[in-house]
Amino acid sequence: MRRALLLLAILALPGWAAAQSVGVGGGFGLHYTPPAPVKGASGWTFDGPIILPAGGGTGTTGVSGLLCVGAALVTTTGTAEQTLATCTVPANTLNANSMTLRVTASGLTAANGNTKVIRARWGGIAGNACAAVSTSGSGVGWRLVSEITRLGDATHQWCIGAGTAATSTGLTISAPTLDLTAANTIVITITTATQAGDASLYHYMVELLR
């Protein structure tokens, strides 16, 4: 029984079919090579997935982390829909079904009753809206949270997100068909149709969830 459990644990490791010998008894052996770390200018990278224990339970989890983050104040400069932040998602980032990108953005509106529309879009300024809120709130904070999940294959995604600004709320859903084997962009846009400067982006981040 112990040998069987050990064998299953070894088979679950990435890269088990390469060079480092691991014996399991009974005249049987496997070869295992863990993901090889490579040090670059921005840190260490690995040629395979890293699997971690999920707390004190028996489950495991992959490593999640930030793809993009920004905290510079950016304000609209015109009355058309304007991109205030862009995150480029490299090709094959979502290389397995159920992998997800979480987008979070927040900011502040100007002290007037003009309408402001804030969106998170997948695929550039002409892409699918994955979260949005429209508000005429004066000097109010706003926040968007959206998830973009790979479904079925590399050309089907599910997008859902919520936007809030004072008493205004909005739920947005869409089914994008971007090619995930190519690079794509996430943008945070604001439309201040009445006058420039009616809303600002304070912070955004894009996380990869495994």
The SS3 of residue 27 is coil
- The per-residue pLDDT for 60 is 72
Question: How does pLDDT run across 25-84, given as a tens digit for each residue?
Answer: 444 444 445 566 677 776 666 666 667 777 778 877 766 789 999 999 999 999 999 999
Which of the residue ranges 4-18, 133-147, 185-199 would you say has the lowest mean pLDDT?
Answer: 4-18
| SS3 at position 203 | strand
State the Cα–Cα distance between residues 129 and 189, nearest whole angstrom. 10
pLDDT of residue 18: 43
pLDDT at 56: 78
Q: How confident is the model at residue 192 (pLDDT cuts 50, 70, 90)?
A: very high
**3 has a pLDDT exceeding 80:** no
pTM across the whole model: 0.77
Q: Lowest-confidence range among 36-50, 65-79, 100-114, 153-167?
A: 36-50
Residues 6+ apart with CB under 8 A from 21: 29, 30, 31, 32
Q: Which domains are present in the chain? A: 2-53 (no CATH), 65-209 (2.60.120)
- Mean of pLDDT over the chain: 85
